[in-house]
Structure 1
Amino acid sequence: MTGTTSSPAAAGTPAAVTAAGETGGAWAGRYGAALMNTFGPPQRVLVRGEGPYVWDDAGRRYLDLLGGIAVNALGHAHPALVAAVTEQLSTLGHVSNFFATPAQVTLAEELLRVVTPGGAPAGSRVFLANSGAEANEAAFKMARRHGGAARPRILALEGAFHGRTMGALAITYKAAYREPFEPLPGGVEFLPFGDVAALEAAMGPDVAALFLEPVQGEAGVRPLPAGYLTRARELTAHAGALLVLDEVQSGMGRTGTWMAHHLPHVGGGVVPDVVTLAKGLGSGIPVGAAVALGEHAAGLFSPGQHGTTFGGNPVAAAAALATIRTIESDELLGHVAELGAWLRERLAAVPGVTEVRGEGLLIAVALTAPVAKDAAAALLDAGFVVNPVREDALRLAPPLILTRAQAATFVAALPAALAAAGVGA
């Protein structure tokens, strides 16, 4: 891997072979005829990846600064991930949850080790799922089991995104996501983002749970204000409500610590009741988890009250274990913290950028005008994958293995892309 090119077509890169030798246009047409229109037309047809790069069907190379939306923690085709998945699949691919596997048990133990500094409290347990939405769905059901009829209220924040299943959607704020599917599970109230006074006023003995993202990814990469999470823990503990932290996008090293709430200015010593994980946990293999901290939260489900066919399957568990072990062996937490600080500083100096938000390698680049879609399109043409997370902001969530040299090619290319979009020139 090198980080020396900003061209979409790397010299000497062989064009990837596609089935029947079809072009991207042909694949796009087949896509539109075969798949539901839930994502709109694909921007490119991608056929290969290596490290932080992907190639399309025409052989053009792109620096993947979105990482499958914070999923590909180890980049593409990482040898440790490939070896772990290959070995496990060649040994035992799937069994039902009537049985246990060593990979499943070991992964749960590792999550209990890293979810909070010093390890999870005694009695903590893990539910393994397949995605962030499923992990949050489990947490939603845990909140209902905890609250019962006496605690019908669940609190979340404006700007929250917790998933698209019905329970997770009920605690997701955006009206465009919610309204087509109403009525949703009830009792959910949305509070102003970061407003401690509003949280204090809303909290009471009839609240079952408070759901928070330490960093709101889909709202434009907004970290909770300093002190908010600490006060939330105090209020929920006093009221007897669960504190649920959604670390689906911000966890597993993404912010330079195992969890975003470990950052001193975000959460410090806060120990929540439930932490939900997915995305980067499996580096591209679908896996999620709801980690219940303490005996009460861990005991909310009894046999038959929740389940999953594929959750915790040995292949996904092996991928997650390889991810955790590689993050540690390659000292990626410190690397992410250092590179993220360097990258945010450089991006803030680019003409047309008004603010750079985020932690580690979860970053939003706020622009002087609502031209993020045009800027993202220009960057894609220049060989960089980013996400216009808001009309005026670009989101970056690259692989944790990204190097400074590779990141520098993006910093160098950004001014021209913004100028093409009409800002910063």
Structure 2
Amino acid sequence: MKAVTWHGKRDVRVDTVPDPAIKEPTDVIIKVTSTGICGSDLHLYELFGPFLAEGDILGHEPMGVVQEVGSEVTEVVPGDRVVVPFNVSCGTCFMCGQGLQSQCETTQMRETGMGASLFGYTSLYGAVPGGQAEYLRVPFGNTLPIKVPQGPPDDRFVYLSDVLPTAWQAVEYAGIPAGGSVAVLGLGPIGDMSARVALHRGAGQVIGVDLVPERLARARARGVHTLDLREHPNDLADVIRELTDGRGPDTVIDAVGMEAHGAPAARMAQEMTTLLPDAVAGNLMRRAGIDRLHALRLAIDVVRRGGTISIIGVYTGMLDPMPMMTLFDKQIQLRMGQANVWRWVPDILPLLTDEDPLGTESFATHHLPLEAAPQAYENFQKKQDGMIKTVLRP
């Protein structure tokens, strides 16, 4: 089959690799029909080389059609249409029972000190082959795949894999009061969808901050009060406070994470790790503070006293100024952590109707064949060609 594979920094390719096969009686094989490129895939493209091996298959936002099932699979049959969550979770352990699928005890990466395994996301999270491919092996076939209706286009459902539950959790963790205010820092796919979810759930004021014109225009068209970071290089916090009765918003969603603009020293440290031997770079990335914390510091600055910060952007640093990797991975409050996909599916699935209140069918800016993935990664990383969200069609 064809698959998108990692070969080094800024080097992804479409290779021919062996087809996946049933290994366990509860496995399912799906033929992938749509698969997204996520902003966190750019971390692999740019930074996480020490935790990748050449030829690793990328991608964690797939959906498709069941082709083959193991002997103990009873909940789906060949021909069923399914979305695959990015968490590899069993659905039956204590953590899954708490709605914490990102901490699944069956797939938890104890040897690396991380949470549940993830599709297509480094040895830190299990080195599980990803979904930017023609076919995908899915474990836990009775509990992991999300069965969706036949008929509506893929774009109605594919974002159940990551974007929708991640944004929903960001808003849930923010705890926006009815009619209250929220500032969303970063209007990439997750920040954009977080703003949409916040408005849908009754936020009275949603302020969105970014510096990419296409992202700002898109959010503005859906009722978000947008602020261009380039126009407020020194007074952004004051402007946000002025919009919120001088107090600051009730809540802030940090949808940026470690790749925030600003903090040139931290940016240099991030880039220098890619020049080090993998063993040294991996140890540095896991134990040293190399994050650009501009967005988090802005969130702390602008949120009102007694407010809430919901962090959905990924951080990795451990020492400076706080152990962000541990805080993020273990979901310690503020409120933060990898999204627990299945926890939010019952809330989201009823919204994927003909009315499409969250605008899923028009959410992607680009639909491309799998073979176009290398150029798509480059354009996405450089914010070119108006690319905000890309769905690949194997």
Which TM-score band applies after superposition, normalised by the shorter structure? Answer: 0.3 to 0.5
> Over alpha carbons, which structure has the higher Rg?
1
More contact order relative to length (CA 8 Å, sep ≥ 6) = 1
Query: Larger helix proportion, structure 1 or 2?
Result: 1
